[in-house]
Amino acid sequence: MKNFLIFIYIVIFLNFSLKSIANNNEIYGFNIMLCDSLKNANYNFGIEKINKSKLLIYKFQNNKLKKYNFKKNSENFVLNLNQKFDFQEPVYLNLTNRQFYKINNDEFLGGCFKVKSKAELKCKLNSYYNVYNNKPPLACNYN
What predicted TM-score, i.e. pTM, was given to this entire model?
0.74
Q: Does residue 123 share a domain with residue 79? A: yes
Same domain? 21 vs 42 = no
Verify that 67 and 85 share a domain, yes or no: yes
Torsion of CA 114, 100, 81, 122, to 10 degrees: 30
SS (H, E, C) 39-83: CCHHHCEEEEECCCCEEEEEEEECCEEEEEEEECCCCCCEEEECH
Parts of the chain with a pLDDT under 70 = 1-2, 4-11, 13-29, 74-76, 83, 142-143
Domain match, 95 and 67 both: yes
**Distance of alpha carbon 22 from alpha carbon 82, whole angstroms:** 31
Asked whether residue 137 is domain-assigned, the answer is no
* Number of domains into which the chain is organized: 2
11-50 confidence digits (pLDDT tens): 676 665 555 444 444 445 678 999 999 788 888 999 998 8
The reply to whether 39 falls in a domain is: yes
**66 and 121 fall within a common domain:** yes
